[in-house]
Amino acid sequence: MKLNSITLRNFRCFQHAHLELHPQLSVLVANNGQGKTTFLDAISIALWPYINEFDLANSAGSSKRNSIAVSDVYLSKKNFQDYQDDPMSKDRFNTTYRSVMSRRLPCEIQAEAKIQDKTISWIRFRDKETPNSHTKDNKGCKELRQLGKEAQKELRKEPSTITLPIFAYYGTGRLWNKARLTERSKGENYPQDSNIASFAYRDCLNPASNYRQFENWFANVHQHIMSIRMSAELSGEIMEDKELKLLFQPLRVIREAVKFVLSEVGWVDIQYSIEEKSITLGHGKYGHLTVNQLSDGIQAVFALVADLAYRCYLLNNHLGDEAIKQTPGIILIDEVDMHLHPKWQQTILTQLRTAFPKIQFIVTTHSPQVLSTVAAENIRLIEQDENGDYRITTPEFSPLAHESGTALAQIMDTQREPPLPIQDDIRRYEQLVRDGKEKSAEAQNLRQQMEQAGYQFHQSDLDTWRFLATLKDKQHG
């Protein structure tokens, strides 16, 4: 499945907005509060009818969470003129202005996607604002639901070889805002459910972290493997290499994904500690630590990659070691650069796309380092004009492989240097040096003030200004 486009009408901040999506990667860029996360939320709502057709996808609150709420409806302001009879006023009648807010209906999310070589379009909408009203679907949604039903039916066959698409939404709350497992997840059937393919859709569109769900699965698989090996040893059986390879396959798939994406920081050896009752990550230099002892950036990326790899394998374990490479799907990541050092920001998208090559990633970012790793065709700029209308465009300039400062200026419309008062002093000092007045009292005082404030000159800048001063002196000599 690939999502082609999403169109919003009267949804949150958008009266109307149309977003065309790239089949491999779309990076949404905008100022704060201008709708990046709104699009991710809208996409998750649009995808829910398909996911909801799978037996184990639904958990407490998931349908409500993946529907259009009354609070999602676009609010418009209406201005009134109020005429009041005021005997104390010179004009007798006072004119005052007041405004009221009203919801615009219908509120719609329209999506178009390519599914199994077929392009379909559907709409989810809300046309009432009463408390007991709910999200409605058009006829196109029936086709989407039918595709989900057929996939679930195929999944029940034994053996099933259907390759299912993965869906997941990782919001800014993914860092250890560990969403509590639902009551159904914690119930007595949970260990059995967690090994069924459609369980990979459980809470997959919950933007809070689902790390606990992965951790429980990993612990169960680890304990199962240890139990089988112990039984074999006690009975004197010798397990063949083929049996061992198949037994360790789930853990091996997860470890390979984690090792590839976290190679930047060295914490690549994932294990389960029975003593700690927790997952640990190992580093060649620092040994093993529980995941919650590591930095926020490492935790965030590990949780995302591990959860994503686990869901890929659970959905399509018939693909074996190739489950991660061959699983298609749609992944939403809000602020993909969150908590990452700039060096890691410059590699994270490439690592994710290489590790999961068939997945369509739709991400948001505020990082010029991230933007310097993608082409213009992958970037979508969300901008609001002076009238409050939104437009979504692809930039004319491609920041791919350019310095991050270029992406900052060309894509994000932000100056390379911060707009601080000291900038005027820097420019004045530069002009004095270029005029051959570096040793003047004014220049000396300026430099002293700037250095006391913490400013440090680049030696190359000083050399250039002095060279220009020499040329200027020769020309006038």
Instruction: For 401-436, write each residue's pLDDT tens digit.
Output: 999 999 999 999 888 888 899 999 999 999 999 999
**CA 221/CA 234 separation, integer angstroms:** 20
| pTM passes above 0.75 | yes
- Whether residue 120 has pLDDT greater than 50: yes
Choose among 269, 240, 265, 264: nearest CA to 252. 269
- In 21-159 the beta strands, taken as DSSP E runs, fall at 25-29, 75-85, 93-103, 107-115, 118-126, 136-137
**CA 354/CA 255 separation, integer angstroms:** 15
**CA 301/CA 175 separation, integer angstroms:** 9
Give the rounded distance of the alpha carbon of 318 from its chain centre: 28
> pLDDT confidence of 224, banded at 50, 70, 90?
confident
Average model confidence (pLDDT) for the chain? 89
Choose among 174, 129, 156, 143: nearest CA to 300. 174
Task: Give the single-character DSSP code of 175.
Answer: T
Choose among 382, 377, 373: nearest CA to 353. 373
State yes or no: cis peptide before 106, omega within 30 of 0.
yes
Q: Phi and psi (nearest 5°) for 111?
A: -130, 150
pLDDT value for 386: 84
Q: Which residue has the higher pLDDT, 11 or 91?
A: 11
- Whether residue 444 has pLDDT greater than 70: yes
Q: Which domains does the chain possess?
A: 2-72+103-410 (3.40.50.300), 422-476 (no CATH)
* In contact, 113 and 119? CB cutoff 8 Å: yes
Place of tokens 């407490």: 60
> pLDDT confidence of 62, banded at 50, 70, 90?
confident
pLDDT tens for residues 352-365? 999 999 999 999 99
Q: Checking DSSP bridges between strand 107-115 and strand 118-126, what pairing results, if any?
A: antiparallel
Q: Is 388 left (phi over 0), alpha (psi -120 to 50) or beta?
A: left
Over range 29-45, report the average pLDDT.
Answer: 95
CA end-to-end span of the chain: 73
pLDDT value for 58: 84
Over range 264-275, report the average pLDDT.
Answer: 93
Q: Which of 57-66, 351-360, 466-475 has the lowest mean pLDDT?
A: 57-66
Please calculate the CA angle 344-347-352 and round it to the nearest 5 degrees.
Answer: 115
> pLDDT confidence of 233, banded at 50, 70, 90?
low
Percent of the chain surpassing pLDDT 90: 70
Over range 259-266, report the average pLDDT.
Answer: 94
- Whether residue 99 has pLDDT greater than 80: no
Choose among 218, 256, 209, 8: nearest CA to 109. 8
Task: Give the single-character DSSP code of 292.
Answer: G
pLDDT value for 296: 92
